[in-house]
Structure 1
Amino acid sequence: MRRAAARCGLRTIALSPWRIAARDDDEARRALAIALAAPVAVFTSPPAVRAAAALLPEALAAPGRIRIAVGAGTRAALARAGVPDALAPARQDSEGLLTLPPLAAARVRGRDVGLVTAPGGRGKIPEALAERGARMRRADVYARVPLAPDPRAIGRLQAARGDLLLPLTSGEALQRILDALPEDAAARLRRARVVAASPRLAALAEAAGFAEVCRADAPQPAALLRAAHAAALNRDARRRPPARRPDKHPR
């Protein structure tokens, strides 16, 4: 996102709620081996793919099994890891993923389904698949280690003038940041224009008190910035006074 924003001439304020820590232990390898042995395995993020590739690269790319990515970024990570035929939904979120034919109730009932992920986030996927009768084989291959917001970033947020843009791809990240910020900084952030990667995230932003929320059609940085640009153009058009119509009978 930082590189994409810089290409558009935008400056960023980094409010990272966590850092990614890949696991490298026997328990993670055992759980991953079971998940990857399932006929179908779902990957919830690019970090999940990278962590799995570091732990068990041969099992990850084993032929004859279906690998499913939650979105295009995760599918690209699978391709780089040796899985060029992974599936991904057109609608790149949990709801879209659950519409894929290999995850239909008739296909997963009574069968193992692997889930390669991290603790927290995307709880809808395992819950929905378990309701369809799947035996979930979960492997948490990385962790999100909480970080306190950088005081320098908080200061930049508090001092920011003009419009702010908040790309939103994680409801958990949004809530962590709002909880961690000082009250005035959180209030300033809530005045940002949110561009959400899914309808669910848009609803979460509205419930969290953000007044201006628009939606992107994909979670990739370019798609988020395109949606933000389109929303800004529409807002400016609404604010522009209507053109004065010329008199029909000038004197």
Structure 2
Amino acid sequence: MISLRPSGEHAPLRRLAAQYGGGLIALSPWRLRTRDDADTRALLDRALGATRALATSPAAARALHQLRPDWRAPATQRWYAVGAGTAAALAAAGIDPVRWPQRMDSEGLLQLPDLQDLDGEDFALLTAPGGRGLIEPALRARGARVIRADVYERLALAPSRAQAQRLCALDAPTLLALSSGEALQRVLAQLPEAAGAALRRARVSAASARLAQLARELGFAEVAVAAGPQPEQLLAPGLRPAP
């Protein structure tokens, strides 16, 4: 299996791949770092006064807990997450209940019934610079006053020579767990030509139809849409437990 998750977030996929008798090649396009400075803390404090709040990733939830470990959400504040993993990270930070969509991506989140009319509401967005940028303009278009706090950042990592060599040496069926289009594009742009061609020979398990279409456009021939972005869901297409 090939994972494009940020550095430090490969462990669940590594454990599951081992259960299926496989290994894991971790191609992290970046590592994540909490922004711990006075300006970020001040903006976070302002955001935490909003009536509604959204953490866009587990890293955003962890950064909130790191920056404000003693903060507790008021009972009247509504919290949202893009998926179950982020909701679990918020719960670990003491924030519960948290609403998240069955379709665990930006589009699924924006389909939640109670996010359709936000006229005049302050809405905290805990996130990082970059990404697709779909959520913030949609919330503003629905009337929300978005208070954005970039509480962590992505620091670019280039694939190593050893990782490229491992890709070129692959001679067994390989599955690419795809949950980020930006990560895939970044990795392909940095790999040597032979390693990029080897990566494109992998079967793709995409977390959404949008990501599946992107994979096809980038030259992947065998693409399946998984039930969601969780490790168990991404591993499901075409794999069977090892005897």
Instruction: Point out where structure 1 has 5 or more consecutive residues left out of the alignment.
Output: 231-251
> How far off its partner does 1:60 sit?
5.1
Q: 1:130 to 1:228 in 2, by over 3 A?
A: farther
Matching residue of 2:62 = 50
Structure that is richer in helix per residue = 1
Matching residue of 2:74 = 62
> How far off its partner does 1:5 sit?
1.1
Q: 1:192 to 1:67 in 2, by over 3 A?
A: same
Matching residue of 1:207 = 217
One-letter amino acid of the counterpart of residue 214, structure 1: A
C-alpha distance in structure 1 between counterparts of 2:105 and 2:72, whole Å: 22
Matching residue of 1:184 = 194
Report if aligned partners of 2:79, 2:99 keep a CA contact under 8 Å in 1.
yes
The answer as to 2:51 corresponding to 1:10 is no
Matches within 5 A, 1:1-251: 1-59=13-71, 61-104=73-116, 106=117, 108-229=118-239
Q: 1:77 to 1:41 in 2, by over 3 A?
A: same
> How far off its partner does 1:58 sit?
3.9
Matching residue of 1:249 = none
Report if aligned partners of 1:52, 1:60 keep a CA contact under 8 Å in 2.
no
Normalised TM-score (structure 1): 0.87
Q: Which has the higher contact order (CA 8 A, sep 6+)?
A: 2
Q: Percent identity?
A: 54
Report if aligned partners of 2:20, 2:239 keep a CA contact under 8 Å in 1.
no
One-letter amino acid of the counterpart of residue 156, structure 1: R
Report if aligned partners of 2:51, 2:78 keep a CA contact under 8 Å in 1.
yes
Instruction: Point out where structure 2 has 5 or more consecutive residues left out of the alignment.
Output: 1-12
Report if aligned partners of 2:56, 2:127 keep a CA contact under 8 Å in 1.
yes
> How far off its partner does 1:127 sit?
1.6
> How far off its partner does 1:217 sit?
1.1
One-letter amino acid of the counterpart of residue 127, structure 1: P
Identify the range of structure 1 (122-131 vs 174-183) with the bigger mean alpha-carbon deviation. 122-131
C-alpha distance in structure 1 between counterparts of 2:72 and 2:163, whole Å: 38
SS at match of 1:37: coil
C-alpha distance in structure 2 between counterparts of 1:136 and 1:96, whole Å: 19
C-alpha distance in structure 1 between counterparts of 2:139 and 2:28, whole Å: 31
Deviations 1:116-154 (A, max 9, x none): 011111411112112212111111111110011121111
Task: Tell me how many residue pairs correspond in the alignment.
Answer: 228
Normalised TM-score (structure 2): 0.90
Deviations 1:179-203 (A, max 9, x none): 0000111111111111011111111
Report if aligned partners of 1:164, 1:193 keep a CA contact under 8 Å in 2.
yes
One-letter amino acid of the counterpart of residue 142, structure 1: Y
Q: 1:122 to 1:41 in 2, by over 3 A?
A: farther
C-alpha distance in structure 1 between counterparts of 2:86 and 2:25, whole Å: 25
Q: 1:116 to 1:60 in 2, by over 3 A?
A: farther
Report if aligned partners of 2:28, 2:159 keep a CA contact under 8 Å in 1.
yes
